[in-house]
Amino acid sequence: MAELLACRRAADPVSGDIACENEVVAHTNVSGAAHAQTILPVADAPLIEGPVGTAAALPEAAGGSATIGRQSLLDLLPYREIWAVDFEFGSEPGDNPVPVCLVAWELRSGRKLRLWRDEFGATPPYPTGPDVLFIAYYASAEIGCHLALGWPVPERVLDLFPEFRNHTNGIPTVSGAGLLGALAHYGLDSIGAVEKDEMRDLILRGGPWTDADQQAILDYCETDVEALARLLPAMLPKIDLPRALLRGRYMVAAARMERTGVPIDTETLELLRRHWSDIQDQLIAEVDRDYGVYGGRTFKEDRFAEWLTRNNIPWPRLDSGRLDLRDKTFRQTARAYPIVAPLRELRYALSQMRLSDLAVGRDGRNRTLLSAFRARTGRNQPSSTKSIFGTSVWLRGLIQPPRGHGIAYIDWAQQEFGIAAALSGDPLMMDAYRSGDPYLAFAKQAGAAPPDATKATHKAIRDQFKSTVLAVQYGMGADALAQRIGQPPIRARQLLRLHRETYRVYWWWSDAAVDYAMLNDSLHTVFGWRVQVPSISNPRSLSNFPMQANGAEMLRLACCLATERGIEVCAPVHDAVLICAPLDRLDAEVARMQDAMREASRIVLDGFELGTDAKIVRYPDRYMDERGATMWDRVIKLIHEQQQKTAVV
């Protein structure tokens, strides 16, 4: 892990990155026997073979030029060969990619390769060792093709997509964050968007293709490689190579997880798809029995307002005075008033759930693009309709391990609280985290609960202090906290004041981080994921960035460690992972995954370790999110009743 610790940037008091922004690491061992001695297995190989401190700042590349005077920017990269690679591939929803063709350019020698699918061999046509740099744009697609072909994955990946996202994160771009958008940002010509769509349609249509089609597809594939060759020198002056390679390493892990997918109970899914429209009226009637807010399939705002009044539940209103009926509002209110949760699940299911969009392959695995680095914090942003973890929580009951296997949902315990404690260095906050129950510890430290208080004896107090911690993490004010805990605003203000008084070191650090961001126009993680900060930014939204974004770094690193060690990671989920293993190895694999997650926390937090919790499910049981259990039971009961009616008819 020495290379990762070296990759972790020296930090100022607000965890700001004080190393040079514009650097490419110079290296003397570009080739030869001395360089060959550094070759190690990918799980153990260093990100770079030279010391991080030997970085040389590079000037900007004028107009995308590949040279600075006579010296090529590429010559400063510490690699024997540099390959720009692009695949074209097809796949059905939920299935793994089927490679169609490959184009690769070696940027030092000018060597070019064009291979159609019947020309693929048992190994890649280019080397993949640690002395070779693999360049791609959204590299998990190319790595996914490597995995589909049984090829070894490249050991050094520089993905220009996350680097472009990192460079422009938080500010508008000319034309999005795709390859065409990156080219436009740097003033480089590109293929037209319409032509690109037409070619993608031709590829996704599937074969057979004519000879002319094959040449057109190869030519189209080569335009992306040619674009990479022009984009790389334009971006290099702003690329922080060691940290960029760590992000590329995650794209390899993402490809492995996308290939694995989440096991789904396809029989029950088919029943849901077949009967969903048939049971909606009964489902509404059954759920609405406790609320009386529906008229047929229509949600009645006036009836809902009356129900809120009867149950003494405060509800946010829009500027117009009408109730705020956004799903976000329902979700937040349901945390404070669980009675709202079934109604929220029903509304979401009726208005937004499209079972036909859930991407399940022929092998019964849910697969979709993880959309790594899409969120401002660098988190994944998979489709909310194609991913099982993006749909209604009750649908997660479809997750079921294959016969003879088990699954485990493993998450960090109070991750954001632990990150805040470690990065700020607040001793009381770190003590609270290490206690195992930071919310109750906070209440004790604030004098609101006696030293011998437990979760059972002081549940109400603990719940209020937990909500206060979460409010601080989400940047909520007193009014929002008051609504969340069902207390007057004066009580919410008191709780927020207690947090500031108890965790003074944390608040000094947090306020300093916001000041740093506003003064320096950016904020960043320990591994250099950066958000640009326009002058109009909301300070509250900035205060949570260090926890969310460093939490994303932690998850990415844990996924790298786990997949490189052969753990079958089905999916990353915010601050958690879902893994699968044969029953006779399940407990051991859970322990190995937890080891990787603890190790990742120590690396990101400079030695401070976060604990983990594991929820284990063994076949034939199914995974169930407790928030959706009631809804799941209702839907399954109605489907069985519908089947019985159909059988009688």
3-state SS, residue 571: strand
Per the omega criterion (within 30 degrees of 0), is the bond before 237 cis? Answer: no
Please give the Cα distance from 254 to 572 (Å, whole number): 9
> Distance between alpha carbon 183 and the CA centroid of its chain, in Å?
25
Task: Please report whether residue 448 resides in a domain.
Answer: no
Q: How large a percentage of the chain has pLDDT more than 70?
A: 88
AA letter at 236 = L
Q: Write the CB contacts of 520 (distance below 8 Å, at least 6 apart in sequence).
A: 16, 533
pLDDT (tens digit per residue) in 3-47: 666 666 544 434 433 333 333 333 322 223 322 222 222 333 333
For residue 220, the number of C-alpha atoms closer than 13 Å in the C-beta half-sphere is 24
| pLDDT, position 389 | 94
Which comes out higher in pLDDT, residue 67 or 340?
Answer: 340
Structure confidence at residue 453 as a pLDDT band (50, 70, 90): very high
| pLDDT, position 473 | 87
Angle 6-11-13 from CA coordinates, rounded to 5°:
160
* CATH classification at residue 154: 3.30.420.10
Torsion of Cα atoms, 207 then 210 then 211 then 214, to 10°: -40
Q: Which of 92-101, 134-143, 380-389, 529-538 has the lowest mean pLDDT?
A: 529-538
Whether 626 has a pLDDT exceeding 50, the answer reads yes
pLDDT (tens digit per residue) in 542-558: 888 999 999 999 999 99
AA letter at 23 = E
Helices (H), 103-176: 139-149, 160-168
Four-residue CA torsion sign, 514, 370, 90, 385 = negative
Torsion of Cα atoms, 5 then 8 then 10 then 13, to 10°: -120
Tally: H helices and E strands in the chain: 23, 19
Task: Please report whether residue 235 resides in a domain.
Answer: yes
Nearest to 571 by CA among 256, 139, 144: 256
Which comes out higher in pLDDT, residue 482 or 646?
Answer: 482
Residue with tokens 């991913």: 387
Q: How large a percentage of the chain has pLDDT more than 90?
A: 71
105 strand-pairing partners = 84, 112
Task: Please report whether residue 10 resides in a domain.
Answer: no
| pLDDT, position 193 | 64
Structure confidence at residue 336 as a pLDDT band (50, 70, 90): confident
Which two structure tokens, joined as six digits, stand for 79? Answer: 């690699």
DSSP 330-383: HHHHHHH-GGGHHHHHHHHHHHT--GGGS-B-TTSEE-----TT-STTS-----
What DSSP element (H or E) covers 219? helix 211-235
Structure confidence at residue 459 as a pLDDT band (50, 70, 90): very high
Per the omega criterion (within 30 degrees of 0), is the bond before 208 cis? Answer: yes
Task: Please report whether residue 322 resides in a domain.
Answer: no
Q: Write the CB contacts of 251 (distance below 8 Å, at least 6 apart in sequence).
A: 138, 139, 140, 143, 157, 159, 162, 372
pLDDT (tens digit per residue) in 129-142: 999 999 999 999 99
* pLDDT, the chain, mean: 87
Domain that holds residue 81: 62-239
pLDDT (tens digit per residue) in 359-382: 999 999 999 999 999 999 999 999
Average the pLDDT over 42-67 and give the result: 34
Which two structure tokens, joined as six digits, stand for 55? Answer: 């970085």
| pLDDT, position 540 | 74
3-state SS, residue 542: helix
Overall residue count recorded for the chain in this entry: 649
For the chain, what is the domain count?
1
Structure confidence at residue 62 as a pLDDT band (50, 70, 90): very low
| pLDDT, position 34 | 29
**C-alpha Rg value of the chain to the nearest Å:** 26
Task: Please report whether residue 103 resides in a domain.
Answer: yes
| pLDDT, position 536 | 60
Please state the pTM of the whole predicted model: 0.88
Q: Write the CB contacts of 162 (distance below 8 Å, at least 6 apart in sequence).
A: 244, 247, 248, 251, 372, 373
pLDDT (tens digit per residue) in 223-251: 999 999 999 999 999 999 999 999 999 99
What DSSP element (H or E) covers 581? strand 576-582
Q: Write the CB contacts of 28 (distance below 8 Å, at least 6 apart in sequence).
A: 50, 78
Task: Please report whether residue 198 resides in a domain.
Answer: yes
pLDDT (tens digit per residue) in 376-432: 999 999 998 899 999 888 999 999 999 999 999 999 999 999 999 999 999 999 999
CB 30 within 8 A of CB 78: yes
Structure confidence at residue 582 as a pLDDT band (50, 70, 90): very high
- Strand pairing class (576-582; 405-412): antiparallel
3-state SS, residue 399: strand
Structure confidence at residue 649 as a pLDDT band (50, 70, 90): low
pLDDT (tens digit per residue) in 174-224: 889 999 999 999 999 877 666 778 888 898 888 789 999 999 999 999 999
